[in-house]
A and B are shown apart, each in its own frame.
Chain A
Amino acid sequence: QKEVEQDPGPLSVPEGAIVSLNCTYSNSAFQYFMWYRQYSRKGPELLMYTYSSGNKEDGRFTAQVDKSSKYISLFIRDSQPSDSATYLCAIPRDLYGGATNKLIFGTGTLLAVQP
């Protein structure tokens, strides 16, 4: 079983739709959960991160963690064409060496928001 698995997509939605992106993970000891956005031919950029369970909201983006089911989600409200990108979930494996060492990435979900 992979440590982090992500719905591969691709996903195509109309502008204004609510988007749900999901990952599962295997190690219950993981505590930080991150979402990166990667535009075509660019490096990933950190979008949001959460610590432990619960929700975190930032504008149109909400990150949700359910540690009981080892499930993480990113919701995008009122999606825009500029949100078209690959979204990667990432989890640091090394808990004691600094939170963001040894990032394990999901495979990424390619999102296209149609105007």
Chain B
Amino acid sequence: EAGVAQSPRYKIIEKRQSVAFWCNPISGHATLYWYQQILGQGPKLLIQFQNNGVVDDSQLPKDRFSAERLKGVDSTLKIQPAKLEDSAVYLCASSLRGPSGRAVSFNEQFFGPGTRLTVL
């Protein structure tokens, strides 16, 4: 089974430039997540999609970050304009199912290798 694919793996840009990251989740996975991992910290959820709808984007800096998952499969995350503090690894993850109502169930998230962004 192919894993979560991300591209590019590395990107260096200057502040105020734009950048876009692409993610292709595991086939059949309905839920897709974008995380930001700053050096020395754990991943922080930016946005969660269930198919092509947004479930949670409460921690997405919407003045500069945007994300879409138009056909409910792959997704792009964009930053425009970038700031120095956006330097981080951007991780995409997917899971088979999404929210399951009030039933508590296990739903493993599978992570891609990430895109390492450096903003100069």
Show the binding face of A for B, using Cβ within 8 Å: 4, 6, 8, 31-32, 41-46, 49, 51, 88, 90, 94-103, 105-108
Contact = CB atoms under 8 A, between A and B. Distances in A.
Q: Is the interface of A mostly helix, strand, loop or mixed?
A: loop
Contact of B98 (A4, A98, A106): A98
Interface in B72-99: 91, 93, 95, 97-99
Interface stretch (B12-20, B61-69, B109-117): B109-117
A100 B91 CA distance: 16
B27 interface: no
B105 A99 contact: yes
Do most interface residues of chain B lie in helix, strand or loop, or is the interface mixed? loop
Given A88-B43, A101-B48, 13 more contacts: A43-B111, A45-B110, A95-B104, A98-B107, A99-B104, A99-B107, A100-B106, A102-B45, A103-B43, A105-B43, A107-B41, A108-B41, A108-B42
Contact of A98 (B99, B113, B114): B99
Interface in B1-44: 4, 40-44
Contacts of B97: 98
A45 to B, nearest CB: 7
Nearest to A93: B45
A108 B39 CA distance: 10
A96 B110 CA distance: 21
A37 to B, nearest CB: 11
B114 A43 contact: yes
Nearest to A8: B40
A98 B108 CA distance: 10
Nearest to B44: A105
A42 B89 CA distance: 10
Contacts of A88: 42-43
29 contacts: A32-B104, A41-B113, A41-B114, A42-B113, A43-B113, A45-B111, A46-B108, A46-B109, A88-B42, A96-B101, A97-B99, A97-B100, A97-B101, A98-B98, A98-B100, A99-B104, A99-B106, A100-B95, A101-B48, A101-B56, A101-B107, A102-B48, A105-B42, A105-B43, A107-B40, A107-B42, A108-B40, A108-B41, A108-B42
